[in-house]
Amino acid sequence: MQNKILSRNTSFATKISQKLLKNTVVNGVNILTLSLLTIYPANAETRVSFPGVAASGNKLQAQGNTSSKSQVTNVNQLSDVQPTDWAAQALQSLVERYGCIAGYPNGTYRGNRAMTRYEFAAGLNACLDRINELIALATTDLVKKEDLVTLQKLQEDFAAELVTLRGRVDTLEARSAELEANQFSTTTKLQGQVIISVNAGGFSSDRIINPNSSSGNPTGTAITSQPNPTVLFRAGVDLNTSFSGTDLLKIRLETGSGLDSNLSNGGKDNAAGLLEPNFGSVTDYSVKPPTNGEFGLSRLYYNFQLAKDLKLTLGPTILATDLVDFNSYSYLSFRDFSTLAFVNNFILFPVNGPSAGAAIDWKPGQGALSVRALYVAADAANPGNHGSGVLQSISSFTSILYPSATAKAGGAPNVNPNITTGERGLFGSTYQTTAEIEYAPSRAFALRLQYSGGEVFSNRFDAFGVNIELTLAQKFGIFGRYGYGSYSDTENFGDIKPNYWMAGVAARDLFTRGALAGIAVGQPFIASQIGDSTQTNFEAFYNYPFSRNIQLTPSIQVITNAGNQDSNGTIVTGTLRSVFSF
């Protein structure tokens, strides 16, 4: 009789223990699961990183009581798990005590890769199945009493937090539903950027004269007073729309302080642009976009996949320099160099402003070779042969080569009637065709060979360029560009063949992560017919990122023999550039 009573008591105690164990484990897992799902809110594609779960693609290989070649019975079977790893002990407990973790077929665990919420659910289910099996078999020696006590304690301690978390989840779901119902667009993202700079500078001689002064041309001017300090700005908003996930419709509204609306060579809101506006000394973001405090459309184009490795860009308002002549160290004037002639190959882009056209970008097999080509036309919306719209699209040096045509296009009176400014429209003059072949076997090296040809005011031009960059030890880069061009029938100089070159060095992560510092030297327009010397530009900068959204960059520009005139003194300017991105 006593044996029967003892047996009943033992059975009753075992059932109570199993029920208590099961409820405690489930409650403990609920705490963990709810916490994780609250931290990583409800999005089926949200990826979280847990070094304690092995995954492969979208399918987790964690298994419970199912035998597999990848089943792990000892943590030492995982070749990429070291005893010194921070989660090694936790992994060892899961493998050796509960046996609910499996590795990859090649004997690795890959504990640092990211996992999806689906993978987490699969792994959690595998361990729960194993725990249920242990409970059913009453293997209480594997599920220790200490674990039961710990889980009970966690349940009691976090009871209030669970209620709070449930309330927060309900609130987040309500807010998410409200945002989805009232969002601006399901396909469009809003981005913006504001550049605000303080600039000051001066020159060492009695006066600064422009290149036309040397030819006796009456349009030659002289500056005899030192420039005043200025504050210049550019502000823009992008509406980026994608309909398929691989295409982009870009609309950019922009304004700035830099254009002299009566001339093609604007950017006179900074000392370098005022003192030497013709040969690329102007601050790049001062002339891109060419606005004068008026909000306007500076980009409007559609980019889409024409084939697997081929992209096509079409638009009535694009910039040629947005699509070719990239460089990791000298390309973005809001991040690196500000000097216009250092941002792109100066003589390769006589059409260097908003234009209409098309471009292709072909990368066969996603390999090392890329081919790009474009066609852009200035003043493409004009069906006649008059109007000043072309001035917004041409580079500053064209006003030196073709001053009368430039003046006539700007509406200046008393211009020689025999001077032509060319037909307009999509296929009229002024236009530019550019082709570029890039060889980039790795992110550390790139070589680009370029050609541009077209017409400026019905006068033919052809130009060739080379663009190269090399990164050493992931932190230090060297780079450079070279150009050779031919411009026919210039007004005061005949046929000329200008050269261009620039070279520099740069360092990443200098003093802080994300920083970029660089120094460069170059000669933007080497032509013996213009002036009696060669202008040389220098610039040094240091870009300091306060955050992903705020950057501060001091820079110094030095210009010798400005306008290819050795009588001009040395120009020195300093700029403090601040950039806000959102």
Q: pLDDT by residue (tens digit) across 370-411?
A: 999 999 999 999 998 888 888 888 998 998 999 988 888 887
The tens digit of pLDDT for each residue in 54-85 reads 333 333 333 333 334 466 777 777 878 877 77
Evaluate whether 540 touches 572 at the Cβ level (below 8 Å).
Answer: no
Q: Measuring CA to CA, which residue among 85, 91, 51 is closest to residue 72?
A: 91
**Cβ proximity of 393 and 368 under 8 Å:** no
pLDDT tens-digit series, residues 238-250: 999 999 989 999 9
pLDDT of 63 reads 35
User: Which token pair is 230?
Assistant: 């200025």
pLDDT of residue 48: 39
3-class secondary structure, 479: strand
Give residue 138's pLDDT: 58
d(CA 154, CA 19): 18
Q: Tell whether the model's pLDDT for residue 9 goes beyond 50.
A: no
pLDDT value, residue 87: 77
Q: What is the pLDDT at residue 502?
A: 98
- Percent of the chain whose predicted confidence (pLDDT) is above 90: 50
| pLDDT value of position 108 | 82
pLDDT of residue 155: 78
What percentage of the chain has pLDDT greater than the value 70? 83
Q: Which residues of 437-475 are buried (b: 16+ CB within 10 A; e: fewer)?
A: ebebeeeeebebebebbbbbbbbebebbbebbbebeeee
- Other CB atoms within a 10 A radius of the CB of residue 181 amount to 7
Tally the C-alpha atoms within 13 A of residue 30's C-alpha that lie toward its C-beta. 16
Cβ pair 324, 452 in contact under 8 A: no
**The pTM is what?**
0.70
Q: State residue 265's pLDDT score.
A: 53
pLDDT at 23: 54
| pLDDT attached to residue 287 | 87
pLDDT at 333: 94
How far is residue 530's CA from residue 401's CA, in Å, rounded to a whole number?
9
- Tens digit of each residue's pLDDT (9 = 90 or more) over 255-275: 999 766 544 557 889 999 999
The CA-based dihedral angle spanning residues 35, 40, 44, 50, taken in that order and rounded to the nearest 10 degrees: -80
Least confident span in 49-53, 299-303, 538-542: 49-53
Q: What is the mean pLDDT of residues 277-304?
A: 88
Q: Which of 138, 161, 182 is the last residue of a domain?
A: 182
259 inside domain: no
The predicted model gives 173-196 an average pLDDT of 85
- State both tokens at 24: 């405690």
Residue 44, pLDDT above cutoff 80: no
Q: Is the pLDDT of residue 305 over 70?
A: yes
Residues 316 and 169 occupy one common structural domain: no
Residue 246, in any domain of the structure: no
- Whole-number pLDDT of residue 422: 87
Q: Is the pLDDT of residue 35 over 60?
A: no
Q: What is the mean pLDDT of the chain?
A: 83
Domain endpoint, select from 164, 182, 200 = 182
* Domain-located, residue 45: yes
Higher confidence at residue 3 or residue 135?
135
Around Cβ 143, how many Cβ atoms within 10 Å?
19
Per 3-state DSSP, the chain is made up of helix, strand and coil in percentages (nearest 5) of: 25, 35, 40
- pLDDT category at 176 given cuts 50, 70, 90 is confident
Number of domains in the chain: 2
Report the number of secondary-structure helices (H) and strands (E) in the chain.
10, 23
Per-residue pLDDT, 57: 32
Alpha carbons within 13 angstroms on the beta-carbon side of residue 245 total 0
Beta-carbon-side half-sphere exposure of residue 496 (alpha carbons within 13 Å): 21
Task: Tell whether 223 is covered by a domain.
Answer: no
- Residue 19 pLDDT > 70, yes or no? no
Please report the pLDDT score of residue 51 as a whole number: 38
- What CATH number is given to the structural domain containing 513? 2.40.160
The partner residues of 374 in beta bridges, in order of sequence, read 359, 434
Q: Do the domain assignments include residue 572?
A: yes
Task: Give the number of residues written for the chain.
Answer: 582
Which of the listed residues 182, 198, 217 is the one where a domain comes to its end?
A: 182
**pLDDT, tens digit, 9 for 90 and up, residues 349-365:** 999 989 999 999 999 99
Answer yes or no: is 48 within a domain: yes
Q: Report, as an integer, the average pLDDT of 491-513.
A: 95
Sorted by sequence, the CB contacts under 8 Å of residue 183 that are 6+ apart come out as: none
Range of the domain at 502: 303-581
CA triplet 123, 50, 78: central angle to 5 degrees?
75
Residues 176 and 316 grouped into a single domain: no
Is pLDDT of 232 > 60?
Answer: yes
Instruction: Report the C-alpha dihedral over residues 455, 275, 386, 322, rounded to 10 degrees.
Output: 50
Query: Which residue's entry shows tokens 């500053």?
Result: 396
Task: Report the distance separating Cα 378 and Cα 381, nearest Å.
Answer: 9
460 has pLDDT over 90: yes
pLDDT band at 315, cuts 50/70/90?
very high
Token duo for residue 167: 């309330």
- Residue bearing the bigger pLDDT, 91 or 284: 284
Three-state SS sequence of 386-414: CCCHHHHCECCCHHHHCHHHHHHHCCCCC
Average pLDDT over every residue of 47-51 = 39
- Better pLDDT: 451 or 168: 451
Residue 561 lies in a domain: yes
Q: Report pLDDT for 139.
A: 52
Domain for residue 236, yes or no? no
- Per-residue b or e along 258-279, where b marks 16 or more CB atoms closer than 10 Å to that residue's CB: bbbeebbbbbbbbbbbbbbbbb
Copy the structure tokens of residue 106.
Answer: 């090649």
Same domain, 170 and 318: no
Euclidean distance between CA atoms 195 and 484, whole angstroms: 33
Q: Are 372 and 312 in contact (CB under 8 A)?
A: no
Q: Is the pLDDT of residue 318 over 70?
A: yes
Indicate the range of 28-32, 258-262, 508-512 predicted with least confidence: 28-32
Q: What is the pLDDT of residue 216?
A: 41
Angle at Cα 253 formed by Cα 248 and Cα 255, nearest 5°?
Answer: 145
pLDDT reading at 286 higher than 80:
yes
Q: Give the separation between CA 165 and CA 154, rounded to whole angstroms.
A: 15
Angle at 459 between CA 457 and CA 463, to 5 degrees: 115
Average pLDDT over residues 86-101: 77
